Structure 1
Amino acid sequence: MDISVVVPLYNEVESLPELTAWIARVMDENRFTYEILLVDDGSRDGSWEEICRLNLGNTAVKGVKFRRNYGKSAALNVGFEAAQGDVIITMDADLQDSPDEIPALYKRIAEEKYDLISGWKAKRYDPLSKTIPTKLFNAATRKMSGIDNLHDFNCGLKAYRKAVVKNIEVYGEMHRYIPVLAKWAGFTKIGEQVVEHRARKYGKTKFGMSRFINGFLDLLSIFFVGKFGKRPMHFFGSMGVLSFFIGMILAIWILAEKLIHISNNERYRDATDQPLFYLALVAIVVGFQLFLTGFVAELVSRNSPDRNNYQIEDRV
């Protein structure tokens, strides 16, 4: 099979007939073999009934229904597990992504041998309250991930080589950072393509302002797990040793200063009367705790069933 189109959706009953018909027309015109995987994330508006009806008219339309709403990341993860195509295309169900982009995205993966192509909606129809925070998050993600050639990590329209989606796990709010997950898994040939952003035709957005806070926390999580997931002692231990060392230097300074005053028969206030004493004490205690945290994390990591789970591209 050439292409699997994975579409996560939540309460998008109005757009589904138009979307699936549009995808089918593009596929037939380009003679692609395909499937359309519609993942219903607990809709309550009749979306599942519409999916069942669409399946009767076109067997390439397949559906998965969640019992309740789990979020876009969960829907994508399940769609990736079910996808059978050599190239996987993801798009949103609200008709803001154009299926006419599919042939060009497919070519970038199948012929130019990219691992992942991310869409970039250079011209957007979203309000400033959404576009400005998005630009800030994209800038932070580029800086932390080292993927400098992507302008929009969160664009729903993406194309993947099959091996990519079968070797990453998307959870929480991680759908915003799939290119980062792919890079940490060893898929480094990541490109970008300008795509059309269409105005929403039906319904309303399902994401509130909380997505920015959750997205930032998930970015930190990806950065830490990707860099230190298999060697947590390097992170906590380094910080602990640094803090402990600073505390000891301060303590030695206080002690030396007191000894100098005593040897010169000068009056000297007690060490406990100095704020520096408490800073030194806190630094020593925090350093010790961080070191113990790293030690415990290292024990957990070494006993994890995934401790030696590494991405292997090929065998001979």
Structure 2
Amino acid sequence: MDISVVIPLLNEKESLTELHDWIAEVMQSNRFSYEIIFIDDGSTDASWDTIVELSKKDKHIKGIHFLKNFGKSQALHAGFKKAQGDVIITMDADLQDNPNEIPDLYNMITKEGFDLVSGWKKKRFDSVVSKNLPSKLFNWAARRTSGVKLNDFNCGLKAYKNEVIKNIDVNGEMHRYIPVLAKNAGFTKIGEKVVQHQARKYGETKFGMERFINGFLDLITIWFLSRFGKRPMHLFGALGVIMFIIGFGFTLYLGIDKIFFNPYGRLISQRPQFYIALATMIIGTQFFIAGFLGEIILRNSANKERYSIKEELNF
């Protein structure tokens, strides 16, 4: 199979039929063999009913229905597990991503040899205050932190080699950082393509300003995991050593000063340096404990499913 189109969605019933028809037209005109995987992330409207009806008319359609809303990352994870295409295309269901971009994305993977190609919505139709400016700041921080030189980490329109999505674990809210996850997994040929962004035709956006706050927190998380995820003791142990040395230094200073220079002065416990030494040594010990616990958890952790599927179509 040439292409798997993976589409996570939440309450997008108005756009699904038009989106399906558009994708099908592109695929058939380019003679691609394909599948379209819709992942309904706990919609409360008739999105799943629409997917079921579409699947009766088109056997290229497959569906996954979550019991409740688990988030876009979990929806992508479920779709990636089922995808069989040589190239996997992800896109949003709100018609803001243009299916006409699919052939060029496919060619960049198959002919130019990219592992991953990310769309860049250079000209956007979103609110400047609520989305454009925060997005620019977020993308700048992501580039500086991750070392992946993309202009638009948030774009849902991306293309992947099959082996890329089979070797990364998308969890939490890490869908924004799939290129970083791919790089950390060893897939370093990452490209970017300017794609057409379209104004939302139906409904309202599901994302608010809080997604950028969460995005920055996730960025810190992925930075930590990429550097210390497999060796937490290297970070916490180093911090523990530093704090312990500071505390021991103050302790040594207090002892020498008391014995040799000020034997009849204030008690050591009455001096502020005593509490600095005590606090830093305790904190250093706690960092060591955190490192040990991290190592133990890492070695004993078991992978568990992070979502519950209500039903599936055509798998």
Query: What TM-score do the two structures reach when normalised by structure 1?
Result: 0.91
Q: Any idea what the Cα deviations from partners look like across 1:67-105, whole Å, max 9, x if unmatched?
A: 111111111111111111000000000010000110110
Q: Is the 8 A contact 1:55 1:62 kept in 2?
A: yes
Equivalence for 1:143: 144
Which residue in the other structure is 2:293 paired with?
296
Match of 1:152 in 2: 152
Instruction: Look up the equivalent residue of 2:83 and give its one-letter code.
Output: A
Q: What's the secondary structure of 1:15's corresponding residue?
A: helix
State the partner residue of 1:45. 45
Q: Structure 2: where are the runs of 5+ without partners?
A: 304-315
Match of 2:312 in 1: none
**Residue of 271, 274, 286 corresponding to 1:277:** 274
Contact 1:261 1:268 in 2 (8 A): no
Deviation at 1:205, TM superposition (A): 0.7
> For the Cα contact (< 8 Å) 1:233–1:295, is it kept in 2?
yes
The residue that corresponds to 1:179 in the other structure is: 179
Backbone CA RMSD of aligned residues: 1.6
How many angstroms does 1:130 deviate by?
1.5
* Amino-acid identity (%): 59
Q: Contact (CA 8 Å) 2:96, 2:198: kept in 1 or not? A: yes
Which string of whole-angstrom CA distances, capped at 9 and with x for unpartnered residues, describes residues 137-169 of structure 1? 21221122111x201111100000000111111
Runs of 4+ displaced beyond 6 Å: none
Q: Distance in 1 between matches of 2:53 and 2:135?
A: 36
After superposition, the C-alpha distances for 1:276-314 in whole angstroms (9 at most, x for unaligned) are 2211211111111111221232233344468xxxxxxxx
Is the CA contact 1:153–1:176 (under 8 Å) kept in the aligned structure 2?
Answer: yes
Please show how residues 1-316 of structure 1 align to structure 2 within 5 Å: 1-127=1-127, 128-147=129-148, 149-262=149-262, 268-304=265-301
**In the aligned structure 2, how far is the partner of 1:15 from the partner of 1:295?**
50
Secondary structure in 1 aligned to 2:156? coil
Aligned-partner residue type, residue 153 of structure 1: F
Greater Cα shift, 231-240 or 53-62? 53-62
Q: Is the 8 A contact 2:116 2:189 kept in 1?
A: yes
Q: Quick one: distance in 2 between partners of 1:102 and 1:63? A: 20
**What displacement does 1:255 show?**
2.5
Q: SS of the counterpart of 1:215? A: helix
1:9 shift after superposition: 0.6
**Local SS of the residue matching 2:298:** helix
Per-residue deviation, 1:259: 3.4
Range moving further from structure 2, 200-209 or 136-145: 136-145
Q: Which moved more, 1:288-297 or 1:181-190?
A: 288-297
| Alpha-carbon distance in structure 2 between the residues aligned to 1:305 and 1:210 | 30
Q: Distance in 2 between matches of 1:232 and 1:73?
A: 24
What runs of 5+ residues in structure 1 fail to find an aligned partner?
307-316
Provide the rounded CA distance (Å) in 2 between the counterparts of 1:226 and 1:97: 30
* Structure 2 contact 95–200 (Cα < 8 Å) conserved: yes
TM-superposed deviation, 1:260: 4.2
SS at match of 1:14: helix
Give the C-alpha shift of residue 219 in structure 1.
1.9
Q: What code does the residue aligned with 1:186 have?
A: G
